[in-house]
């Protein structure tokens, strides 16, 4: 069976993407992180490894809160998108 990537899955979802970024990471802390928990817990693959550091994109965020709980280094400034923006489940 064909494996579907997270990106392809997210593309069928309905989002109302805000221009405001609702999650920010302290890249310097991530550079020295020894577990990169965010990569494994994010169901939307918003966190990506690049050159030993982390890049983050907020657009596909499913607002689950996993990254904020799993990062024990205080590197994530986590909030939810403004009310009305973000993921808009049609089925749920």
Partner 1 sequence: MEQEFDAIVVGAGPAGSACAYKLANAGLQVLVIDRGKFVGAKNMWGGAFYGGDLLNLLPNFCEEAPFERYVTRQKISFLTEEDCLSVDFASPKFKEPAPHGFVMLRSKFDRWFADKAQEAGAVVAPGLGADDLLWDGSRVVGVKAGSDELPASVVVACDGANSGMAQKAGLQKELSSEDMKQGVKEVIELSEEIIEQRFGLSGKEGIAWEFVGSCTQGLPGGGFIYTNKDSLSVGIVVQLDALVKRKVQANDLLEGFKSHPEVARVIEGGKLVEYSAHLIPVSGINMMPELSRDGFLVAGDAAALVLGTGLILEGANFAVASGIAAAETVIEAKERGDFSNESLSMYRRLLEDSYVLKDLRTFRKAPHFLENPHIYNLYPELACDVARRVFIGDGQPRKTTWDNVRDSLKGRASLLQILPDLWQGKGAI
Provide the binding-site residues for partner 1, judged by CB under 8 A.
Answer: 1, 3-4, 6, 9-10, 12-13, 16, 35, 37, 39-45, 62-66, 69-70, 80, 82-92
Nearer to ligand SF4, 1 or 34 (CB): 34
- Nearest alpha carbon to residue 70 among 27, 23, 35: 35
| Partner that binds at residue 89, options partner 1, ligand SF4, none, CB closer than 5 to 8 Å by kind | partner 1
H or E segment and range at residue 54:
strand 53-56
The pair of structure tokens assigned to 19 is 């221009």
Nearer to ligand SF4, 3 or 38 (CB): 38
21 binds ligand SF4 (CB under 6 A): no
Burial of 53 (0-12, 13-18, 19+ CB in 10 A): middle
């Amino acid at each position: 069976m064909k494996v579907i990537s997270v990106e392809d899955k997210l593309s069928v979802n309905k989002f109302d993407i805000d221009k405001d970024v609702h999650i920010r990471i302290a890249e310097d802390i991530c550079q020295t992180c020894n577990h990169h928990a965010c990569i494994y817990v994010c169901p939307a693959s918003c966190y990506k490894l690049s050159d030993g550091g982390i890049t983050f994109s907020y657009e596909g965020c499913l607002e689950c809160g996993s990254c904020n709980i799993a990062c024990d280094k205080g590197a994530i400034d986590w909030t939810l998108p403004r009310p009305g923006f973000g993921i808009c489940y049609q089925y749920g």
